[in-house]
Amino acid sequence: MPRVTVKDKWKMKKWYKVLAPPIFESIPIGTTPVDEEWKLLGRVFEVTLFDLTGDFSKHYVHLYFQVHDVQEGVAYTRFKGHELARDYLKSIIRRKSSKVAAIVDVKTKDGYVLRVQGMVLTAFRCKTSQKKAIRKELVNVLLSKASELSLDDFIKAMIFGDLANEMFQAAKKIYPIRKAEVYKSKLLYMPTPEGIKKAVIVPTPPR
């Protein structure tokens, strides 16, 4: 009976270095093994802002990067979205106050479309009419800032708190505000020479 040779799939895999997007200075965020490099395309990696900056106060900010290119053993990523840790969100919500959230699709100055979710927490419970007015202000801030900024600058404004501060300032004109956050975002569409297209990467094997 002939001997059957079994290939060790693990030994066939090659290790690839994964880099953060240029906005984060393309710093290495990890390594990953794969047998064929095309299988890396579209893979999503999660890191915290603490991992990228060393600032522990930002450990609750989770970032998602998606591989869009692989060259010479290096996987290059782009921003896919972010969200704040659930434990952090639970810790800032208080009784006898109101949470006012706004979800809106925004378009940056350079043509990227993102779905952004912002919120403010009021100092006390407010009326429905006041919530409606606050939500309108949040939507206006998110739309206007996106239209003024490039994708990279808008990402920075979201994750480092500048955008949340503008939301806070706008909302407090209507009712006392305790906290503002941009708690989630997702890249939906991106500009291309042919026009705008969905920011979705589907890995396909070479022919």
In whole angstroms, give the CA distance from residue 190 to residue 196: 6
Cβ(67)–Cβ(43) below 8 Å: yes
* Residues 97-118 pLDDT 10s: 999 999 999 999 999 999 999 9
Chain-wide mean pLDDT for the chain?
Answer: 93
As a three-state string, the secondary structure of 62-87 is EEEEEEEEEECCEEEEEEEEEEECHH
* Residues 53-73 pLDDT 10s: 999 999 999 999 999 999 999
Report which DSSP code applies to 201: -
Structural domains in the chain plus CATH codes: 14-84 (no CATH), 93-192 (3.30.479.30)
- So what's the pLDDT on residue 34? 93
In whole angstroms, give the CA distance from residue 16 to residue 53: 22
Q: DSSP for 19-73?
A: E--GGGTT-EEEEEEESSGGGGTT-EEEEEHHHHH--GGGTTEEEEEEEEEEETT
In whole angstroms, give the CA distance from residue 19 to residue 27: 5
pLDDT reading at 2 higher than 60? no
The burial class, CB within 10 Å (0-12 / 13-18 / 19+), for 142 is buried
Average pLDDT, stretch 74-87?
97
